[in-house]
Amino acid sequence: MKLFRINAIPIVLGILLFIMGKTENAQVGSDAAVIFTGNEFHHEGFALQAALLQKGYDVHLVQSKPKHVAECMRIQDWNETQLGKQLQNHYQKLLFIVNGHGLKNMGVNIEWESFLKLVKIFEQRANEIFIHIHTCYSGTIVKKWMKEFGTAVKIFTTSSCANNTSSFDPLYYHHTNILQFFTGYYLDTSHDDVVKEKFKQLNCDSTVADVSEILFNPCNENRSCSKIHIHKGENEKMIIWNLLQKNLSSISNQNYFIKFNIPYKCHLCPSTTIEFDKKKHIIFEEKIEIDTEVNTLDPIKAWKIRTVDIEFETKNGRFTHKVKEQLKKKNIPTYSTILKINDSKCDIMQNKCSDGRGFSNLRNTHTLLIGYHENKNKIWVIEEGDHDKTWIIIFATLLIVMVIMAIVYRCWCVPKKNTHKKKNTNIDDDERKNSTSQ
């Protein structure tokens, strides 16, 4: 009996450790966001990344960079990709955003079928999923995808209806619909009075439908879409996803902007804002104008500085929004939040700088204090040729099998040469030579 007790101790401990390990692995991690962005819309991916990191999301950013615009990439096994290896936790909530060019068979140059396979993986790794597809023809995939979704997909929205494109104003790249929807500070509408009233009515119980209605412009047959189309989850509360907007700063109305500062109930709603991982003081050798790298239509506390170039082609030509070289040399993480401009002249942290004074300092900047969050996850860039290595694996496997078969055949199937007979023949020849010589 004593022997049994002695031997049982390590067994019981082993079982307990195994259970504890399983429990630890099953723990739900932080909320996550997976953002796919096309080559020309990568700046929006970085802007979303900065905003969601500040809200506590574990952000995974993927860029697709094919050499040919219409190349349709196919991902066979997401678990073998860098993204699949990064997404090891089980998440309470997961945002899945695809932003960029889209066609009927693909978005950001990846086929819709491959993306649906990725959604299936998300359903195993998250309790609740919010999917937003922000591409042209995103509404075309809705019927097929809806049939495939499990119960984990709580919200599904697209930026277009079926067989239609999505609108994008190349002159208004700072604040597209996707950035408005996920980061706030709504603008870009022709119905400013309606938007003001709807924004005032937002509260802690506001739903996806309540927020999307502020992006007022619907689709029609003669033009592309410029609103959020809700296919599932219109009654889901935005506050649960920590996405309820806090401020209305500006509204564009037929080529001019109206500034607002509307107080309303949402500032009392609970939300999470993570302190900056790092702060950095930037000094410029000579003054620099950076007002074009900052969206000053946002409230000043949300001012972020863009440090990546924006280049894209439209039907009307190529649009380029380059970042100044002086700014690039400072290695500023893109879309960092501005905390001070010219030190005490514009102290945004201490609420000692108005929008007007801030804009004036942006046009004559000597120093910046910025705050930013470091993303622990490496950005995965899918380039032409590295998105689908299945054929390489198949070829290598076949080659190995052929080599093994060749070795087996040589060892077991090829008749062995009769070396004994040859050896005896050589001995007979030697004896014959000896007898002749004698």
**pLDDT per position as a tens digit, 226-244:** 788 999 999 999 999 999 8
* 83 class by beta-carbon count within 10 Å (0-12 exposed, 13-18 middle, 19+ buried): buried
Identify each DSSP E strand in 69-116 by its residue range.
Answer: 90-99, 102-103, 106-107, 110-111
Q: Which of 207-211, 265-269, 294-298, 367-371 has the lowest mean pLDDT?
A: 265-269
Q: Output the furthest CA–CA distance in the chain (Å, rounded).
A: 128
167: pLDDT strictly greater than 70? yes
Q: Which of 61-70, 171-180, 395-404 has the lowest mean pLDDT?
A: 395-404
Please compute the mean of the pLDDT values over residues 399-418 and round it to a whole number: 65
User: Which pLDDT does position 29 carry in this prediction?
Assistant: 61
65: pLDDT strictly greater than 80? yes
- DSSP strand pairing (336-341 vs 365-372): antiparallel
Amino acid in the structure at residue 268: L
Task: Looking at mean pLDDT, say which of 64-78, 291-305, 422-436 comes out highest.
Answer: 291-305
Give residue 196's pLDDT band: very low, low, confident or very high (50, 70, 90): confident
* Higher-confidence position of 383 and 122: 122
The highest-level CATH class for domain 29-274+375-383 is alpha beta
User: Which pLDDT does position 69 carry in this prediction?
Assistant: 62
Amino acid in the structure at residue 198: K
382: pLDDT strictly greater than 70? yes
User: Which pLDDT does position 312 carry in this prediction?
Assistant: 82
- Say how far apart CA 121 and CA 99 lie, in whole Å: 20
User: Which pLDDT does position 197 carry in this prediction?
Assistant: 80
Average pLDDT across the chain, whole number:
81
- DSSP strand pairing (58-65 vs 380-383): parallel
Task: Looking at mean pLDDT, say which of 45-49, 177-181, 196-200, 425-429 comes out highest.
Answer: 45-49
Q: Which of 8, 114, 109 is closest to 67 using CA atoms?
A: 109
Q: Which of 184-188, 313-317, 355-359, 384-388 has the lowest mean pLDDT?
A: 384-388
CB atoms within 10 A of CB 310: 18
> Which pTM does this prediction carry?
0.80
Structure tokens at 277: 């991982």
User: Which pLDDT does position 255 carry in this prediction?
Assistant: 56
Q: Which of 42, 103, 32, 98 is closest to 381 using CA atoms?
A: 42
268: pLDDT strictly greater than 70? yes
